[in-house]
Amino acid sequence: MLRRRLNRLLGGDERRVDSRTIYVGLRPCPATEAFIPPKFCDNRIVSSKYTVWNFLPKNLFEQFRRIANFYFLIIFLVQVIVDTPTSPVTSGLPLFFVITVTAIKQGYEDWLRHKADNEVNKYLVTVLEDGRRIRKESEKIKVGDVVEVVEDETFPCDLILLQSSRDDDTCFVTTASLDGESNHKTHYTVPDTEKDLESLNATIECEQPQPDLYKYVGRMHIYKNDQEPAVRSLGPENLLLKGATLKNTQKISGVAVYTGMETKMALNYQGKSQKRSAVEKSINAFLLVYLCILVSKALVCTTLKYVWQSKPGQDEPWYNQKTQREKDTNLYLKMFTDFLSFMVLFNFIIPVSMYVTVEMQKFLGSFFITWDKDFFDPEIQEGALVNTSDLNEELGQVEYVFTDKTGTLTQNNMEFIECCIDGFQYKYRDADSELDGFCVTDGPVSKLQHYPGKEREELFLRALCLCHTVQVKESTDQGQGQGDGLMDQVDGLGLDGELARPEEQRGFIASSPDEVALVKGAMRYGFTFLGLESKNMKILNRNNDVEVYELLHVLNFDPVRRRMSVIVRSKSGDALLFCKGADSSIFPRVRQEEVERIRMHVERNATEGYRTLCVAYKKLSAEEYAQADAGLREARLALQDREEKLMAVYNQVETGMSLIGATAVEDRLQEEAAETMEALQGAGIKVWVLTGDKMETAKSTCYACRLFQRNTELLELTVRTLEDGGRKREERLHELLLDYHKRAVQDAPPAKAGVTRSWSTSNQDYGFIIDGASLSMIFNSSPDSNSSRYKSLLLQICQNCTAVLCCRMAPLQKAQVMKMVKNSKGGPITLSIGDGANDVSMILEAHVGIGIKGKEGRQAVRNSDYAIPKLKHLKKLLLAHGHLYYVRIAHLVQYFFYKNLCFILPQFLYQFFCGYSQQPLYDAAYLTMYNICFTSMPILAYSLLEQHICMEVLLDNATLYREIAKNAMLRWGPFLNWTLLGVFHGLLFFFGVRYLFSNPALQDNGQVFGNWSYGTIVFTVLVFTVTLKLALDTRHWTWINHFVIWGSLAFYVFFSFFWGGIIWPFLRQQRLYFVFANMLSSVSAWLVIILLILLSLLPDILLVVLRKPRGPHARQKKPVESSVGGPQSPRSSATPLLMRTLSDESNTVI
């Protein structure tokens, strides 16, 4: 990494030029030239954050960026340097503990990343060198090496395909871990390359590394025996990407063109940065406020000290003469050291132990996610996994969810549901029903329409068997196991669990999963596709006769045409065109009288969430075929505008067709996917779907998941809509953005406060669809254009839509969209969820990243903050666990500031009565133990176990999630309430005890109580009040709560007796010797302690008793009724809080 950066600085980086030249096999071309190998980066992958050398400085720097850690470091140094009232141990020890625990935790997490990197880098691969096959570690591959990969292996770097074991010079790969598509893609070898790669002399000239997975431009110069070098163009169909897997091909050989961190996969990988929660930012803001309070207290005391000492006789009384050294000390230096001493004395107002408690709460709290039995998936025998416990509370603050589609929302498992032929609906029942498995379930649209004959049915089934790019899976010995049940789009299924016939036990591979579903659908009704052999397609029909068709041309699918066709020649010599595609692209190209018979079925299937395709055919005359054949051949040889010329020929051939029927295919959703999405939207969370898949597929999934409803108006910004107007894309983009902005933002009624757009009473819900190409135009538009304006318009449109679908996206684009929303006004909390390596950038960019333990490898899980087995578990993770985590930690933070203000305010007030002499009110043991022992365990138990609303109610009522949205419990309002409560309690403790001490002779024998007795009474009232205040706030009592609350109070009493009842040899002065025992011997002290505790807690008790349930609490009554199943007793909502906390436990809703 360092070498590469130096190269760039010194101008030695190859990125200065637009292309790179690669020598195949690292041999000079032509062979007579001197060969100087160009320098490219090695093949190492680095995802870790630290090294052995930089761990300590880098980690310490990151930790001391925390304002509290830095503050305590300064206080510790002051205590070491300046003579202060308290020992350096009081702040140094907790700080050392926090820093050490955090460093160990982060070091362990990075060690796991190092381990994962080594697994990839040390993986053995086969490299061809000097005619020999050499096994070497993946990290040692160099650009130009010829690498051999066998079936089911992953490509170790980006390769250009030179040789394949298949006869047709192709190979099949799956890119599930890159773009989420688990279907097979066909890649082609470079034409005219030598069969013997050892004798191949060639160079490759190609573009510099760039992250777009779907783009590659290059050319190959092949040198042969003093002839002119042959030049062959290279495109994405020749490029095998690192991370993709070889399928259905025994082995291939390819030359490495991009390695290591320059591969397309690595360029789509976002570096892992430290994520910080919104709660931590709130803590930092509150700390600044308390720091200001601390400084102002120290300034007031320092000023008043010197004002008081300026009076005659106060600075140097007769009984306390100054030494010569004190007299010689500079006045301003003395004032500064006094100021620092007051800072140290009051420094306990900043709760150092809060960070320790928060770290422990996050770490221990994460186990509840791991232990939750509802997250256990019996299929993979695993539960949830927590990789980062720092973000538990963020799960309760999510405003946007960005989800992948393939493998996350869907299982990517297509199933043929039904079809319609000439207006009759056919649904598969079983093999014994009439018409060889067909079952007529609908009558025709028109009574005059006759039932379609057998010939029409067979034509439809032949179309399904021929109009596709499916290939039959070659039988291999290891074919049956194939990846723990994952066969990508290689299916070898029998019929609904029945014993399948041998010809039905065949596997299919295709570029689209629904093509496999259609071929298998035809197979159910007696027509079996046997495979493609040297351009001949073979079909086994119902009579078990083999029909052979010569494949003449494939008119490939593209998103603009939204259809694909094949031209075949039958045995009788007829040229037939079979076409299938979306209804919108097929209906205008067939006879209109045929359309009405089928339209009703197509629309009904679409509303049910099925993927629909229409099937048409056309018999071509000899002249029509000759013209089409010539046009296609000419267009495919064109170097300029090849796509446009092919499109013109396609459109010319695909006209005047006859509509046969339509199909309905179901892309099975993940379990409870629709319910989960509905619950998230009910919680006020916006859901965006980011996928690399086609728009039609993704759109139907959004309908099936109920993200788009039937009444949702879709705003589409894709290549198709940009080309509709016939103008420049840039102009059309500007026009569409302004139009959509007017409809979705300007003309929309304003949303009510606190209600998200999708749940407001607007007349029209909008859904937004955008593709990767349009996003590139918006993000990468030239600086002189309105790039930032486009982004702003896009963001406003999306924020006013109920759901957003982004399709055909590169992984890095997912991260860009995420960043755009994350950095928008208000800084919304974002969550991303995915299951493949293509989702890693998105997972790392979001505030919270969730990986699904799917079938596409574990890259997403390794890079996520949390991992769950299924999408359905997201509902409980956010609505129950997230809600409770946030409420718990918000209460913990506010409570810590409150109890430390109660603790230190009497110390501040005491300075007014002790001549500002920095005299501590409390003993050093009490100062050290207050936050560590006496009050830490009850709040830790509360922050781990509290359930102010039980989980069942939270899951049943998603709207409860909205009540804590936007950091509601850590805003300035609640913070001010807690601060005022702390001030009230602090004043009451100090002046209540001072009133008692108006006559300090409180014992029967007339003995006077001193200043340590005063401080001990205040401290006793303090400890009991803050602990009982937490008991009042507890709704969910367990034996642990009882043990720590009453145990902490008992420990305080025991410690005070023990500490003051023994003469400790290591103490120079024994301030509390028998003070506590003497204090308890006074009835007046008992009375004041009890009265002050009751007076302090009285406002809390009265507030709960007298307050009627209103606002959010009134809305919570209904959820409880519905979840219990009957009306709730009125007593439950009116019971005083103190009584209720001891009886009603977790299902109490106040």
Residues marked active site are found at 404
Side chain identity, residue 717: L
Closest by CA to 720, choosing from 767, 679, 769, is 769
Contacts for 480 with CB less than 8 Å, ≥ 6 apart: none
Buried (b) or exposed (e) across 198-224, using 16+ Cβ within 10 A? eebbbbbebeebebbbeebebebbbbe
> How far apart, in whole angstroms, are the C-alpha atoms of residue 300 and residue 291?
14
784: its two tokens: 């002189």
369: its two tokens: 């996610």
Q: Check if the beta carbon of residue 581 is closer than 8 Å to that of residue 562.
A: yes
Side chain identity, residue 726: G
Closest by CA to 416, choosing from 611, 199, 193, is 611
Beta-ladder partners of 416: 665
Q: Which residue has the tokens 């079952």?
A: 439
240: its two tokens: 């095998």
426: its two tokens: 């056919």
Side chain identity, residue 724: D
Alpha helices, H only, 1034-1074: 1039-1061
Q: Check if the beta carbon of residue 255 is closer than 8 Å to that of residue 142.
A: no
Alpha helices, H only, 866-950: 873-876, 883-910, 924-929, 936-945
Q: Check if the beta carbon of residue 632 is closer than 8 Å to that of residue 649.
A: yes
**Distance set, CA 602 to CA 665, 772, 881, 1050 (Å):** 11, 28, 42, 74
Each as own residue / partner, the long-range contacts of residues 623-631 (CB below 8 Å, 24 or more positions apart, any chain) are: 624/575, 624/653, 625/552, 625/567, 625/575, 628/553, 628/567, 628/652, 628/653, 629/552, 629/553
Closest by CA to 1076, choosing from 1061, 1093, 1062, is 1061
**Distance set, CA 1004 to CA 48, 788, 1001, 1007, 1083 (Å):** 71, 81, 8, 8, 9
Closest by CA to 723, choosing from 561, 555, 556, is 561
> How far apart, in whole angstroms, are the C-alpha atoms of residue 207 and residue 281?
44
Phi, psi for 451 (deg, rounded to 5): -65, 130
**CA 574 to chain centroid:** 55
Alpha helices, H only, 10-150: 55-63, 67-81, 89-121
3-state secondary structure of 408: coil
Which helix (H) or strand (E) element contains residue 991?
A: helix 972-996
> How far apart, in whole angstroms, are the C-alpha atoms of residue 84 and residue 918?
9
DSSP 8-state symbol, 881: I
122: its two tokens: 């040390």
Q: Check if the beta carbon of residue 331 is closer than 8 Å to that of residue 339.
A: no
Q: Count other C-beta atoms under 10 Å from residue 781's C-beta.
A: 17
Spatial strand order in the sheet of 866-868: 385-386, 866-868, 848-852, 830-834, 400-403, 686-690, 803-807, 766-771, 713-717
